[in-house]
Copies of this chain bind each other. A is one copy, B any other.
Amino acid sequence: MKWYEIEGEMGGIVVSTRVRLARNLSDYPFPAKLSSKDENEILEKVSSFLTDGGDDGEAYTLTDLSTTDAVTAGALVEKHIISPRMASKRGNRGVVLSDDESVSIMINEEDHLRIQVLGSGFCLDECLEKANRVDDMLDGEFTYAWSERLGYLTRCPSNLGTGLRASVMLHLPAHTESGEISMLMSSLGRLGFTVRGIYGEGTAAIGSYYQISNQFTFGSDEQDTIDRLKKVVKSTVEHEQELRDRYRDRHKNAAEDKAWRAYGLLKYARKLSSAEATSLLGDVRRGVVAGDLEDVSIPLLNALLWQVQPNQVKVISGDYHMDSEERDIARAEMVRESF
């Protein structure tokens, strides 16, 4: 079972949680100055250690991104397993992935190592704990670049210190509709958090999916960062629910109608763009949270949210050379069969 096939805490509004630790090995130059031979050595050593079964009980598999086609790499980006930079850069690099896809270790991204943990719903503590376990395991085998004064040393100063980036993906349609999303962005910005649309750009995010993450890695420890993010997410979720309730009090029929129409279109359309599917899945998700659509599960919506993205559709269909219309048809077929 994949991590997203589970319904997590606050799973209606909180899609997923991610914790990422940036680490570098002290025995090698930083990635920008790394020779191809060194790159290869890091990739080889770290991935072997993990796939030969570190000691955390997970089964890991290496995907060597220097020999991976663009569609497969793109699909990993869409599932948030690797960064877009990781897919497009050159050189010896790879990602080690646990069976349930919750733990991924990118090797030779911007830093030597990026340990990432994904979880369903709102689960910052669990993700941090899991990331720390992997971190400790690697720390036992390799030597990290670390300084007493600066903490973990990273290529970009913005990651110095904890090297921790924690982010929570939220579904915020009522913030979007009411226009409060801009206020949220600016007020959380002042508190040291970044809010950005996951699909599309800025305030016009497709499907109203947003990610809230910490901006700073220096000057506070991991737990403090996580605790502050937890507070901010909780209050955002509460306010989103208030806004939804307020709208529903006045427009119950319109709200139900929107959710059911989205369901009808997903169930019967013969062509679906990724933008439309993403948006309709959001409408259905809101209806599920409101109790309108009882037969649709949040894990199904989570899975589809990745699966409707362009590269995923190609991978799932097994046809990497589809044009855009063929993809829209294959996507509609896949969605239809899921409902």
Selected contact of A264 from candidates B257, B265, B271, B329, CB within 8 Å: B265
Whether A253 lies near B271 (C-beta < 8 A) is yes
Whether A260 lies near B254 (C-beta < 8 A) is no
Which of chain B's residues have a CB closer than 8 A to the CB of A329?
A: 253
Closest B residue to A255 by beta carbon equals B270
- Which A45-104 residues sit within 8 Å CB-CB of chain B? none
A295 to chain B, nearest CB (A): 12
| Interface CB pairs A-B, < 8 A, 18 | A253-B271, A253-B325, A254-B271, A257-B269, A257-B332, A260-B268, A260-B269, A260-B270, A261-B268, A261-B269, A261-B270, A263-B264, A263-B268, A264-B265, A264-B268, A264-B269, A265-B265, A267-B268
Which of chain B's residues have a CB closer than 8 A to the CB of A328?
A: 253
A263 to chain B, nearest CB (A): 5
Closest B residue to A293 by beta carbon equals B268
Which of chain B's residues have a CB closer than 8 A to the CB of A332?
A: 257
The CA of A264 and the CA of B266, in the complex, are separated in Å by 8
- Which A236-274 residues sit within 8 Å CB-CB of chain B? 253-254, 256-257, 260-261, 263-271
Which of chain B's residues have a CB closer than 8 A to the CB of A261?
A: 264-265, 268-270
A225 to chain B, nearest CB (A): 44
**Chain A residues near B (Cβ < 8 Å):** 253-254, 256-257, 260-261, 263-271, 325, 328-329, 332
Which of chain B's residues have a CB closer than 8 A to the CB of A269?
A: 257, 260-261, 264
A297 to chain B, nearest CB (A): 18
The CA of A256 and the CA of B266, in the complex, are separated in Å by 14
The CA of A263 and the CA of B268, in the complex, are separated in Å by 7
Which of chain B's residues have a CB closer than 8 A to the CB of A253?
A: 270-271, 325, 328-329
Which of chain B's residues have a CB closer than 8 A to the CB of A267?
A: 264, 268
Extra A-B contacts (12), CB below 8 Å, given A253-B270, A253-B271, A264-B267: A253-B329, A254-B271, A256-B270, A257-B270, A257-B271, A260-B268, A261-B265, A261-B268, A263-B264, A264-B265, A265-B265, A267-B268
Closest B residue to A254 by beta carbon equals B271
The CA of A6 and the CA of B328, in the complex, are separated in Å by 38
A311 to chain B, nearest CB (A): 21
A59 to chain B, nearest CB (A): 41
Which of chain B's residues have a CB closer than 8 A to the CB of A270?
A: 253, 256-257, 260-261
Closest B residue to A258 by beta carbon equals B270
Closest B residue to A325 by beta carbon equals B253
The CA of A261 and the CA of B261, in the complex, are separated in Å by 9
Q: Which 6 A-B pairs have the closest CB atoms?
A: A264-B268, A264-B264, A257-B270, A260-B268, A257-B271, A256-B270
A284 to chain B, nearest CB (A): 11
The CA of A176 and the CA of B263, in the complex, are separated in Å by 29
Closest B residue to A260 by beta carbon equals B268
The CA of A100 and the CA of B268, in the complex, are separated in Å by 35
Which of chain B's residues have a CB closer than 8 A to the CB of A263?
A: 264, 268
A88 to chain B, nearest CB (A): 32
A181 to chain B, nearest CB (A): 26
A335 to chain B, nearest CB (A): 11
